[in-house]
Amino acid sequence: MADALSRWAGQLAAWAIPDHILEAAPESPWVLPQRVFTRRVDRQLTAPATPTHESVLSGLPGSVLDVGAGAGAASLPCAQVISRVTAVDTSTGLLDEFSRRARSLGLPHRVVEGRWPDVDVEPADVVVCAHVLYNAPDLERFVTALTAHARRRVVVEVAEAHPLTTLNPLWRHFHGIERPTGPTADDAAAALRELGLDPEVVRWRKEAKPEYAHFDELVDVTRRRLCLPPERADDVADALRGLGVDEGTPPDLGSSGREVVTLSWSVSRSE
């Protein structure tokens, strides 16, 4: 019995928003803050390599497949030793941002809009996937496809705890409900081992940086994630201040967070 894989799927299923709250929401709570992703990649392009980049670089020079690429924060900082990169994502806007940055770096690239693993892409020397696993309840299918597409190495970056846990106090405050606390990166590692993989586990911490240009942007995204109407924006702002959020460096609550884990494993495959 696949205990770790079953626990993973069950814990993710528990994050479903209660029907009575979702049906009353004036806007979709599934907010994709594109500017957060573009700011992150632009910082990474000028910053020292993270443990994730170091793991990607250990499998290069060669080609890269970036799954859930966003604007390219996991792959584009390694551009100097990438021969070609393929980016997969569900967001057309973020893939456009990826292409714009890849072109500016002179990096041959292809973008594929779609959901992993339901896309048709070529294998690559290194497959990297950052901050997508918590959206993958069928972890076996997801990870098996990552490994099958890698010739040398798979690198996965995840938040140490499920990123939505940062919103739990606000769900309690505004809706009076308790939200889940799992799964975690340790649960992911256990599931990988259950699949017969032996991931290297590296824990690290991101430096605090502003994710939004203005506090009001954070307030608006958080309000929508909480299924609240626009007239509750001031209440959300007060609640965020009550949590100790620094208005000068507003983080994207519900995103990757500062405590991060890089999971990686080698693949031995003939050309």
What's the confidence (pLDDT) of residue 12? 97
Token pair for residue 17? Answer: 């928003």
What's the confidence (pLDDT) of residue 160? 96
What's the confidence (pLDDT) of residue 258? 85
Share of the chain above pLDDT 90, in %: 84
Work out whether the CA dihedral 226, 227, 233, 234 comes out positive or negative: negative
Per DSSP, the residues of 217-248 read HHHHHHHHHTT--GGGHHHHHHHHHHTT--TT
As to burial, measured by CB atoms within 10 angstroms (0-12 exposed, 13-18 middle, 19+ buried), residue 179 is middle
Our CA dihedral for 47, 98, 76, 220, rounded to 10 degrees, sits at: 30
Residue pLDDT, tens place only, 144-195: 999 999 999 999 999 999 999 999 999 999 999 999 999 999 999 999 999 9
147 close to 154: Cβ distance less than 8 angstroms? yes
Residue pLDDT, tens place only, 196-252: 999 999 999 988 787 888 999 999 999 999 999 999 999 999 999 999 998 988 888
Confidence of residue 1 (pLDDT cuts 50, 70, 90): very low
CATH T-level assignment (fold) for domain 3-164+181-211+255-266: Rossmann fold (3.40.50)
Top pLDDT among 44 and 239 is at 239
Residue pLDDT, tens place only, 136-146: 999 999 999 99
* CA distances, 182 to each of 97, 163, 179, 186 (Å): 31, 9, 9, 10
Taking 70 as the threshold, does the pLDDT of residue 270 lie above it? no
Reference 89, options 144, 32, 8; nearest CA is 32
Residue pLDDT, tens place only, 90-128: 999 999 999 999 999 999 999 999 999 999 999 999 999
Rounded distance, CA 77 to CA 64, Å? 12
What's the confidence (pLDDT) of residue 40? 87
Confidence of residue 81 (pLDDT cuts 50, 70, 90): very high
Confidence of residue 269 (pLDDT cuts 50, 70, 90): low
3-state secondary structure of 87: strand
Looking at residues 42-47, what average pLDDT do you find?
A: 88
Rounded distance, CA 219 to CA 199, Å? 37
